[in-house]
């Protein structure tokens, strides 16, 4: 019986750091091929980031599967963000797969280039996978998911772990290969609800415009302490960023710019302390 797969996983590092170290590429590849040995793969759905996505897609295409690639946005931007970091060979492999894909679905044709795009990309890939299964001649042919995951739970709206939780909610089998310890394929058994914390913490970075250095602070309290301790604030810029997904009362003041979906940014060149303490903090404290 032929199978339909959704695939996902971590981007491979260009060294031994990260959630999928470079030296484990061959071991992971061997585990994928071994798992698929006696499986007839009819089609597969997923993105094509370097590392897990490309390894899984290549193995399934080599088994005769038709590849349905789903990209969050323009392929050149996707390469910059999700492929080129791992090295030139991955860019070449990306193009080889894309050129041989049965079809390519692109979610956004303009911005955003953020987690929302990647999250929706996964939703569409899973949905297309389910749609093919639903319309197949064999209604009992349930789709499968195969992932490359390091077993680390994360709190985000996009990423391998949350993609596996999405699949789990469908009550369909999901399996993974540990990207930090590539042994046999393991069943994913984290039975917990998918919960998205859409309001992300406020990011505050203080840039020194003279020497291009920067300081990151964790809270408004830390920012106030920094301001009070820094005797010379001129020629510095404070950059405030906050994702506000789910917030109803988005700011309308023209000094706060909308970026992407539900994202605000306030960039202020510091002239004096009173400007920071009286004007800026009042503007952003509601969103901290």
**Mind listing the pLDDT tens digit for each residue in 9-34?**
999 998 888 899 999 999 999 999 99
**Mean pLDDT across 214-220:** 70
**Mean pLDDT across 239-265:** 40
Q: Which two tokens stand for residue 280?
A: 């800026």
Q: Which two tokens stand for residue 267?
A: 């960039």
Place of tokens 């906050």: 242
Q: Please report which confidence band the pLDDT of residue 182 belongs to, taking 50, 70 and 90 as the band edges.
A: confident
Q: Please report which confidence band the pLDDT of residue 183 belongs to, taking 50, 70 and 90 as the band edges.
A: confident
Q: Please report which confidence band the pLDDT of residue 253 belongs to, taking 50, 70 and 90 as the band edges.
A: very low
Using H for helix, E for strand and C for coil, what is the string for the chain?
CEEEEEEEECCCCCCCCCCCCHHHHHHHHHHHHHHCCCCEEEEEEECCCCCHHHHHHHHHHHCCCEEEEEECCCHHHHHHHHCHHHCHHHHHHHHHHHHHCCEEEECCCCCCCCHHHHHHHHHHHHHHHHHHHHCCCCCCCCCEEEEEECCCCCCCCCCHHHHHHHHHHCCCCEEEEECCCCCCCEECCCCCCCCCCCECCCEEEEEECCCCCEEEECCHHHHHHHHHHCCCCCCEEEEEEEEECCCCCCCCCCCCEEECCCEEEEEEECCCHHHHHHHHHHHHHHHC
2-187: CATH class: alpha beta
The structure's pTM equals: 0.67
Pairing of strands 236-243, 263-269: antiparallel
**Prior bond of 112 cis (ω within 30°):** yes
User: In which residue ranges of the chain is CATH 3.40.50.450 found?
Assistant: 2-187
What pLDDT is stored for residue 210 in this prediction? 66
Place of tokens 């597969």: 44
Q: What does the pLDDT look like over 68-104, one tens digit per residue? A: 999 999 999 999 999 999 999 999 999 999 999 999 9
Which among 123, 132, 145, 149 is positioned nearest to 60, based on CA atoms? Answer: 145
**Selection from 15-29, 144-158, 269-283 with the highest mean pLDDT:** 15-29
22-36, 215-229, 251-265: the lowest-pLDDT one: 251-265
- With a cut of 60, say whether residue 218 has pLDDT above it: yes
- With a cut of 90, say whether residue 45 has pLDDT above it: yes
């Amino acid at each position: 019986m032929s199978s339909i797969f959704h695939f996902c996983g971590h981007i491979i590092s260009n060294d031994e750091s990260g959630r999928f170290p470079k030296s484990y590429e061959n071991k992971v590849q061997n585990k994928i091929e071994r798992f698929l040995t006696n499986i007839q793969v009819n089609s597969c759905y997923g993105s094509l980031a370097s590392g897990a996505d490309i390894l899984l897609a290549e193995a399934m295409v080599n088994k005769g599967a038709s590849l349905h690639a789903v990209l969050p946005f323009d392929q050149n931007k996707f390469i910059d963000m999700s492929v080129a970091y791992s090295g030139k060979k991955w860019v070449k492999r990306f193009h080889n797969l894309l050129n041989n894909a049965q079809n390519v679905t692109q979610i956004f044709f303009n911005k955003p280039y953020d987690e929302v795009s990647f999250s929706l990309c996964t939703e569409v890939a899973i949905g297309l996978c389910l749609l093919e299964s639903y319309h197949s001649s064999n209604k009992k042919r349930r789709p499968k998911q195969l992932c490359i995951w390091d077993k680390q739970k994360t709190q985000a709206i996009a990423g391998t772990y949350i993609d596996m939780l999405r699949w789990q909610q469908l009550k369909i089998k999901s399996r993974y290969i540990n990207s930090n310890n590539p042994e046999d394929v393991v069943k994913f058994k984290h039975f917990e609800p998918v919960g998205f914390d859409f309001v992300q913490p406020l990011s505050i970075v203080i840039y020194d415009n003279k020497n291009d250095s920067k300081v990151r602070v964790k809270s408004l309290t830390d920012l106030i302490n920094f301001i009070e301790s820094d005797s010379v604030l001129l020629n510095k810029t404070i950059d405030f960023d906050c994702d506000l997904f789910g917030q109803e009362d988005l700011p309308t003041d023209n000094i706060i710019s909308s970026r992407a979906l539900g994202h605000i940014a306030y960039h202020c060149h510091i002239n004096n302390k009173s400007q920071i303490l009286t004007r800026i903090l009042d503007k952003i404290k509601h969103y901290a």
